[in-house]
Chain A
């Protein structure tokens, strides 16, 4: 069975600082990997996704993520955080074969200090 671990429940950064949110997955083959962002009381917005090819993936809002097979990781990064980036971030993994049914991590809450 596939699973996702987001080890950090909360991350606090200062505005303008760099950001890295961690995500580790468990899956038998090459997975589909996703990062979503959720603002309070809202649904999920896709930031970026990895299916195959280049392991460094660029997303919206200046985010990027790197797939590292050897570490089973898909960490999300941003070089300079803005106050509007404060939100809940979810990493998800889906099977690369068959029906697309994602499994979500528990989420990481990003707090941005001015």
Chain B
């Protein structure tokens, strides 16, 4: 199956700093990538959908200026959490699909802890 690599798997940052999470499709061209946030013992909450070369579409309630998403190539999307606060601590998961696919493939997730 298709492989999506997410990096880093864990990151700890100080309040007020920014952190970047990368999501790469290793063996296919990801025309669409999705970013999710997952709180403990809860389901995945879609944050935004990004298409290569276009601006991301954010879900209602997600701050665009805080969660910057870039999808500059067909194999890479990045999520930057700007001016991080402890309440941004969470598990972030990306997924990717190509134009011919009817499913998305998930990365391994990134555990972000803001101290």
Contacts and interface: CB of A to CB of B under 8 A. Distances in A.
Contacts of B6: 43
A81 B83 CA distance: 45
A49 B103 contact: yes
Given A42-B108, A43-B93, A44-B93, A99 B44 contact: no
B104 interface: yes
Greatest chain A CB density within 10 A among B32, B34, B91, B106 is at: B106
B103 A104 contact: no
Nearest to B6: A43
A14 B93 CA distance: 31
B76 to A, nearest CB: 17
A36 B107 CA distance: 13
A91 B95 CA distance: 16
Nearest to A45: B106
A36 B41 CA distance: 15
B25 interface: no
Contact of A101 (B4, B46, B108, B109): B46
B34 A101 contact: yes
Interface string B81-115: 00000000001010101000111111111010000
Interface residues of A, number: 23
Contact of A106 (B43, B46, B102): B43
A32 B102 contact: yes
Interface string A89-112: 010001000011111111101000
Contact of A43 (B1, B42, B101, B106): B106
Interface string B1-44: 10010100000000000000000000000001010000001111
Given A41-B109, A44-B93, 14 more contacts: A32-B102, A32-B103, A34-B103, A41-B111, A42-B109, A43-B109, A46-B105, A49-B103, A90-B44, A94-B102, A100-B97, A103-B46, A106-B43, A107-B41
Closest 4 CB pairs of A and B: A43-B106, A44-B106, A43-B108, A106-B43
Interface of A: 32, 34, 36, 41-46, 49, 51, 90, 94, 99-107, 109
